[in-house]
Amino acid sequence: MGNKGEALRQRIIAAADELFYQQGYENTSFSDIADVVNISRGNFYYHFKSKDEILNAVIDARIAGIEAMLDEWDEKFADPLQRLYCYIDMLLRAQEEIRLHGCPIGSLCTELAKTSHAMLSDANKMFTVFRDWLMVQFKLLGVESNVKKMAMHFIARVQGIVTVTNAFEDKEFLQQEVKQLKKWLDDEVVFPKSSNQ
């Protein structure tokens, strides 16, 4: 493939990614994306045969983005606890986007569960990447049992915070919950009083 065509393809994916997050998948039309990228609707179909195909490309791009981000964190922080704090602080860094549009992963899964069940199993892989990374960090911290359950629990806690922050458009709620979540990390994961779960 030529360099120019490949670059345009990436620009389409990036535009679709953002619009799907802000407006939802079904609610975003080809025209919306085409307007952002400044191409015609017709040209669209040279790069993607269907809307499903764009969604697939967006999911793949997001997964690659998450993996790159986690690699960066691993390099930046030697201490697994610092990495986990960095994960929680992601909520603070993205709090305005979360207030307005929720979680890019969670809200997409919620939408796909209602419309196209078939693609849900692709979308939830985004969660799986985070889950597997969390499991590694927990193990490094010395947690030996229920590591997977703990990682899923962690993800659910974050999703709950995001859903409520978004529903009430309330960043203060997010901020206070972040503090509690760090407390949970310190008390239940790093220094558990008894066997967990």
> Which residues sit at the interface with a second copy, rule CB under 8 A?
22-24, 26-27, 100-102, 105-107, 109-111, 113-115, 120, 123-124, 127, 149, 152-153, 155-161, 163-164, 166-169, 173, 176-177, 179-180, 197
| Residue number, 115 or 176, with CB nearest to DNA | 115
Q: How far is the CB of 168 from a second copy (least distance, A)?
A: 6
- CA geometry: angle at 24 spanning 18 and 28, to 5°? 80
| Residue number, 28 or 166, with CB nearest to DNA | 28
Measured CA distances, 173 to 79, 90, 105, 178 (Å): 28, 15, 20, 9
Tokens representing 84 are: 């986990």
Calculate helix-pair angle for 51-76, 125-140, nearest 10 degrees. Answer: 10
Q: How far is the CB of 8 from DNA (least distance, A)?
A: 5
25: DSSP letter:
S
| Residue number, 11 or 99, with CB nearest to DNA | 11
Q: Choosing among DNA, a second copy, none, which partner's interface includes residue 15 (Cβ < 5 to 8 Å by kind)? A: none
- Residues of this chain that bind DNA (CB under 7 A): 1-2, 4-5, 8, 28-32, 38-47, 49-52
| Residue number, 13 or 161, with CB nearest to a second copy | 161
Residue 13 near residue 58, CB atoms below 8 Å: yes
The stretches of 29-124 forming alpha helices (DSSP H) are 30-37, 41-47, 51-76, 80-93, 95-101, 104-114, 117-123
Q: Choosing among DNA, a second copy, none, which partner's interface includes residue 173 (Cβ < 5 to 8 Å by kind)? A: a second copy
